[in-house]
Structure formats: C-alpha cells, structure tokens
Amino acid sequence: MKTNLFPAIRLTAITLVFFAGVYTIIIWGVAQLAPNHGNGEVITQNGKKYYTNVGQTFTEDKYFNSRPSAVDYNSAGSGGSNKGPSNPEYLQTVQARIDTFLVHNPEVKKQDIPVELVTASGSGLDPDISPKAALVQLKRIAKTRNLSEKNVEELIEKNTEAPLLGLLGPAKVNVLKLNMALDQSK
C-alpha cells in the first residue's frame, strides 16, 4: 500500500502546486502582454464601461439584435440551456424567437433568418453575429433610423472583422460596436 499511496500523494501535491500556482502565474503573465492586460476590450461611452467580449441585450428596433442568451447575458453565470434540439420546451423557445423576429422584421422570410439570431450560444454570452445576421436586419434599422440602406450596409462592412489571419474562424460582427457606431452616425 505504501508503494502506491505515497507516490499518489506526491503527484497530487505537485499537480496542485503546478496548476494552482505556476500555470496560473504563467497565464496571468501572458495576459499582461495583451492589449488591456487581459481584461478584454473596454469601450467607455457617456461615462459607462462596456465590455465588447461579453454579449449585450438590445431590444429596441433601432438596434441590431444580439444572439439570444440562455443566461440573460449574465457573465457571472455563463452557460447554455442544456436542452437538445428535440426538447419540446426548447423548440417552443426557438419558435417564439422566430415569431418575435418576424414581427419586427416583416420583410424577412422565415427560412432567411440566420440560426444564431434564434438560438443561444454554448456560453450564452456570444457578443458576435455573422455578417449575414446583421444584413438580414438592415431594412428594419434603416427604416427605424431614417438612414439609407447603403449607409447601414457600409456600417456593417466597417464593423465586420475578418477571420484571424484570414484563415481561422468565420467573419463576425460585434453587435455592441455596431450599435455604438449606429448611435454615432446620426
């Protein structure tokens, strides 16, 4: 028993020290080299701080809709709904989101709604949507704000981030940045 117990205790202690101390300090040190020292991108507007790496809720018709959140955009409780695509309650939630979207965007057909506008992400805090999800909301935004569709489309293009290194991941639009750009375009 001693031949197994003491090495297991020693390995546990070494692992605990490494992952709770050494690894944490290394990751913290690398984060200090990043812009904003690993705190994400912070935008201050009208004296209020906004974090661009956390999804925000926008419900007014004059703003682009964010991806729905299963945790009501609470960054302290990140998580998905854990309901599968065959769960009746989940299907009702998605259908309600589709119906709401169609009421606010009557010119859009149901089959043209991008999936990320009616389903929550795994974290429930996704701050980005696809360019297609932004473009499908273009007519509503232009009409509500009395802007030309071309101007709104240009704002979407300016706020579209290309894939990392041109290869990794899809193009994306940060909804908070886009809505702030809309407010400044008046």
Identify which of 118, 148, 113 has the alpha carbon closest to the alpha carbon of residue 133.
113
Q: How open is the CA angle 90-92-97, to the nearest 5 degrees? A: 95
24 and 74 co-located in one domain = no
Q: What does the alpha-carbon distance between residue 47 and residue 121 come to, in Å, rounded to a whole number?
A: 30
33 and 107 co-located in one domain = no
25 and 108 co-located in one domain = no
95 and 169 co-located in one domain = yes
78 and 115 co-located in one domain = yes
Residue 128, token pair as written in the block: 């980005």
23 and 103 co-located in one domain = no
Q: What is the pTM of this model?
A: 0.77
157 and 82 co-located in one domain = yes
Report the number of distinct structural domains present in the chain. 2
pLDDT in tens, 112-158: 999 989 988 877 788 899 999 999 999 999 999 998 889 989 999 99
pLDDT tens-digit profile, the chain (186 residues): 778 888 899 999 999 999 999 999 998 888 888 777 777 778 888 888 887 888 888 888 899 999 988 888 877 777 777 788 888 998 999 999 999 999 999 999 999 999 989 988 877 788 899 999 999 999 999 999 998 889 989 999 999 988 877 778 888 999 999 999 998 876
Residue 176, token pair as written in the block: 């908070």
- For residue 160, the enclosing domain spans 41-184
Q: Which amino acid is at 164?
A: L
31 and 53 co-located in one domain = no
pLDDT of residue 53: 81
Length of the chain in residues, anyone?
A: 186
116 and 169 co-located in one domain = yes
163 and 142 co-located in one domain = yes
79 and 113 co-located in one domain = yes
34 and 46 co-located in one domain = no
